Every structure is written in C-alpha cells, then in structure tokens.
Structure 1
Amino acid sequence: MFPMPIEKWKASNRILYKLSLPVALLIWLLPILAVLVTSVRSTDELMEGNYWGWPKDFAMLANYREALTASPMLHYFWNSCLITIPSVIGAIALAAMAGYALSTYKFRGNTLLFATFVACNFVPQQILMIPVREISVSLGLFNTVSGLILFHVAMQTGFCTLFLRNFIKQLPYEMIEAARIEGAGEWTVFYRIVLPLIKPALAALAVLVFTFVWNDYFWALCLTQGDDVAPITVGVAALKGQWTTAWNLVSAGSVLAAIPSVLLFFLMQKQFVVGLTFGASKG
C-alpha cells in the first residue's frame, strides 16, 4: 500500500537509484544552467555560434546592466510587486475564512460547495481566456493593476481554500468548542485560535501563491496591453528584437525576473517544509 523505504531495497536497486538520481537532477537543471551561462556570454560569441561551449569572454555586468536599461525593467518589476503582493494577501485571507467555514460549520450544501472549489482547480485556464477578457473589458478592468489583482485573487482562492480547509480540518475541534463555551465569538476563535495554529500552512501557501502569480505570463499577456501595467514576465519578452534577438540579454532578464521567487523560497524554506508536512504524523 505504501512505498517501501529505501533502506529495505535490494542492494542493486539502491545502487541504481543513487546513480540515476544525479543524472536526473542534471537533466532537470540543464535548461536553467543553459540560461545562466547564456546570460554571461558576450554578443560576439553568440554571433559566432558559440551557444553551448564555455564562455570565452564573460560579459555578466554588461549584460545585466543593459537588460535593466534597454527596457523599463524596473517599471515592470514594480508592476509585478503591485500585482503579486495584494493578490497573495487577498487570496490567502479569503481562503482562510472560507476554509474555516467549510471545515467547521455543518450546513446544507457544504460538500457541494467544497466540491466546487476542488473542481475549479481542474478547469484548463486557457478555455477561460475569451470570457475573462470580455468581462474585464466590459467592467473597465482591462489593462489595469486592479483587474489583474482581482483575477489572480479569484483564480488562486480555490486552490488556497482546498489547501487550508484540509489543514484546519485536522485541528482538534474540541479547542474550538471550548472557546465557544467560554464565550468567544466566531471572529475571536478564528483570529486567536485557528490562525496561530495554521501559520506554517499560511507560510507555505504564501510561497506557492507568490510563485504562481509572479511567474504568470499567460494572463498578464491576455489582460494587459502596452507597458503601463505589464509585469516583469511580459517585460522579459520585450527584450526580444524585431529582426534579431540578443539571447544573452533575454537570459539576463529571465534571471532577474526569477530572483524574487527563488529568494523568497530560500528565506522561507523552513516554514515551507513545515507547512507542507503539517499534520502528516500524529504522536
């Protein structure tokens, strides 16, 4: 029923596993390594066709400086912050309240409502492109920061509710009942008891949602036009030329765009791991 621990494997299987793991890791990291190496190549090397060899001339400072100055990269970065941070806060706040209600209250339609949250996570986002764009245009939210925030909050709340509802469901219900008997209101129970207990889950969810929203390119391209509210993912695409593309600049811009997500993960790595394993064991 459960996978056998590695320590109980046959010796030959353990050796094969240890040999194949670095190979699989190298294959998975190869595109990232290629982008990192290309971001420090000079334009002359790329014109000569040196795409995969070791760089002869390191032009890291020149490439990253030009990536920042050749396009309004800092403006794109600021737009991404304006879009991502409120989206993360809004989605987690709504999901925490919805997850608490779905896991604590027993009412008619509870299961159906929860199933709706679950089902929405399986809807391909591409089929929503035309109706979402038409709705944003009709409401005057097209090409606005508030429109992107509302969209991401709506899209991420379903996944966040599914995530948090399961965590809150694992909390001892006796604590909530005891707080109610002592006279605590529902908001007091939610803020003083439930939220402190699910902080690891909230931290893990914040990292995930931040990564989803920050790295979004599809919806940023569908719901924006021009450079006014375009996030950094669209800004990296602006580094491509009309006739030729300086891939070293595009790679440098891609690395700059990925830094916040990677940095956030390493800063909150402990909380992220604790949140994902929260409630996984009893004792």
Structure 2
Amino acid sequence: MTSTLTEPARTSPAAPPPPSRRVRPLRLLLHVFLFLVALGWLAPLALAVYASLRPYEETARLGYFSLPETLTLDYYSEAWTQAELPKYYLNTLIIVIPGVVLTLALASFTAFTIARLHLPGRWILLVVFTAGNLLPPQVLITPLYTIYTMIPLPWWMSDSLSLYDSYLGLILVHVGFQFGFCVFVLVNFMSTIPEEISEAAMVDGAGVWRRYWQLTLPLCRPALAALGTLQFTWMYNDFLWALVLMSSGDKLPVTSALNNLRGQFFTDYNLLAAGSVLVALPTLIVFQMLHKQFVAGLTLGSTKG
C-alpha cells in the first residue's frame, strides 16, 4: 500500500505596504508661497469681475467687500457702446498682428543665422541684442518723438505726413523693442536642436532657406508659440508708446478706450471695471488657445536624454 504525500501549497509572501510619502517642509512651504502668489494675482481680477456685476449705488452703500443684492450684466453692454470698444479693438489688431508677425519672422531669421550658420562674431551680435533689452524705454521717449516727426510718410499712411501719429510708427517701435528678447530665446532654443539634422540636410543638397523654412522652423514651433503669446500680450497691453507717438484719438489702441468711461466730475468705477474686463478678455482667449504650446515651449529642452 503506497501513500502519497501531498506537498503543502506555497503561499506567496504578502506585498509590503507602500512606503508613506513624507511631505517635506520646504516643499510644503513652496506650495504655500505659490498659492499666496497666485491668490495675489487673481484677487484684483476677481474683485473687478465682482464689482462689474453690481450697481454702483449698491457698492457705494454697502462697500465692495459685501454680499450682493443685485447681479446684472448691464455694465458690460454699456461699456461696450460707451467706450466704442469695437473701433479700438480694430485699431489694436492693426498694430499687434503685424507687430507680432514681423518680430517673430525677423527674430527667427537672425537666430538661425547666429545658431546655425556659424558666422564670425555671431555671439557678440547676440550680446548686443540682449543688452538692448536692458535699456529702459522711457530714456528713448524724447529722441524717438523727435525722429518720428522728421521721417516723412505719404498722406495715405499718415495724416501728419510723418512717421508720428501712424500705425507704422507704432508697429516699428514694438518690433524694435521686442526683437532682441525673441532673438535671445530662439538662439538658445535652436542650439538644442542636434546639428546632425542640419548636416544630413546639407548632404542631401538642402540650401540655407530650405534648412531654415522646412527643417529648423517646424522644430521651433513650441518656442514660436510661446513667444507669440508673450508678444501679443505685451503689445496688446502697451499704453506708453501709443500715448507718446500718437495724437489722433481715432487711432489709439484699446487700452486707451478706458478713458472714455471716465466722467469729468464723476467716475463709475463699476462701469470702469466692466470695461477693464472686456479689454483684458482677448489676451485670456489667446492664452487659452495657445496654452499647450506655451507650456511646451517653456519646458522643452529643460531635460536631456
């Protein structure tokens, strides 16, 4: 009689519990700091939106930091018509769109020359462009005003027959001041692209223009999108150069339209808040449309391998 011995079943050892992730005090402090900074930036915008939805009589009686009795959108329609926002939006687009396109085009040409063509003295040229950004624009107000009044333009480009009080003059000053920053960013971005790609294209017979337009520029799309978002925001929000280099009220950008909401003896700040929200809305729309490319342009190249 044979007996069979049954081998006891093997039980797999229990998996150890995952180690508890300790929150470092410095990381917690960093998160608290970032939350406070974000709150500090968003609080004025939230207060402006809140004030624009309440009648001025109510906020004058109860204060801005009080619970609302009435919420209405009437101030937005009033600000749209009283400030003549459609006309000023058009003026801004006439200035900003060519300014952004020209800035990115010229900066990409220059950055490609510095980063890819290996010309002698190219880094000195980059230092000159970078140093130009350190010059305060307020220092150049008087010289630029004098030069603009001396440069002639035909009557169909300027009512003053000079570069002063013309869309072209405002576009050129934006391109001049933003050009150096864009060159600096694009040179550093193009330097991260492997040179073997360009060398392989040269072996295949690609010329300089083809290497720029069909090879390098598509790889710089995230950086161009990030710069385009920044340049649109900076040019759109400009008020100084329009005030200095323009005199015709019908040509001023949208940032100056808020002056139409100010009365001579009384200013309805709730109406002014509604106008401010409408003026800021296009920049929020542009950022929302390009935020993925904007983030990719900021983070691409931060890690290698």
Cross-structure match for 1:263: 285
In structure 2, stretches of 5+ residues that fail to align are: 1-19, 152-161
Does the CA contact (< 8 Å) of 1:96 and 1:161 recur in 2? yes
2:98 aligns with one of 86, 106, 112: 86
- Is the Cα contact below 8 Å between 2:222 and 2:297 reproduced in 1? yes
Alignment of 1:6-17 (within 5 A): 11-17=24-30
Measured at CA, do residues 184 and 15 of structure 1 come closer, stay the same or move farther in structure 2, by a change above 3 Å? closer
Matches of 1:106 and 1:21 in 2, distance apart? Answer: 42
Pairing partner for 2:127 from 115, 132, 138: 115
Within 5 Å, which residues of 2 pair with 1:195-210? 195-210=217-232
CA displacement, residues 182-241 of structure 1 (integer Å, 9 cap, x when unaligned): 211100110110011111111111101001101111112111223221000011233211
Report whether the alignment pairs 1:50 with 2:72. Answer: no
Secondary structure in 2 aligned to 1:106?
A: coil
Percent identical among aligned pairs is 37
* Partners of 1:273 and 1:108 in 2: CA distance: 34
Which residue matches 1:173? 195
The 2-side partners of 1:19 and 1:190 are apart by 45
Query: What TM-score do you get using the length of structure 2 for normalisation?
Result: 0.85
Q: Secondary structure at the match of 1:228?
A: helix
The 10-residue stretch of structure 1 (217-226 or 153-162) with the greater mean CA deviation from structure 2: 217-226
Any conservation in 1 of the 2:82–2:260 contact (CA below 8 Å)?
no
**Structure 2: distance between partners of 1:24 and 1:159:** 25
TM-score using structure 1 length: 0.91
Quick check: 2:224–2:297 contact (8 Å CA) kept in 1? yes
Residue 126 of structure 1: how far off its partner (Å): 1.1
State whether residues 79 and 274 of structure 2, in contact with CA within 8 Å, keep that contact through their aligned partners in structure 1: yes
Q: Give the match for residue 59 of structure 1.
A: 72
Whole-Å separation in 2 of the counterparts to 1:154 and 1:13: 42
Q: How does 1:150-229 map to 2 (within 5 A)?
A: 150-229=172-251
1:45-83: CA deviation from partner (whole Å, max 9, x where unpaired):
2443623323322232x1011101112211001111111
CA contact (8 A) 2:129 2:184 kept: yes
Q: What's the CA shift for 1:104? A: 1.5
Query: Matched residues in 2 for 1:9 and 1:162: separation?
Result: 41
In 2, the alpha carbon distance for the partners of 1:280 and 1:152 equals: 29
| Residue 134 (structure 1) aligned to one of 117, 128, 146 | 146
Deviation at 1:21, TM superposition (A): 4.2
- The equivalent residue for 2:53 is 40
Structure number with larger C-alpha Rg = 2
Unaligned runs of 5+ in 1: 1-6
**Superposition RMSD on alpha carbons, in Å?**
2.0
> Partner amino acid for 1:92?
L
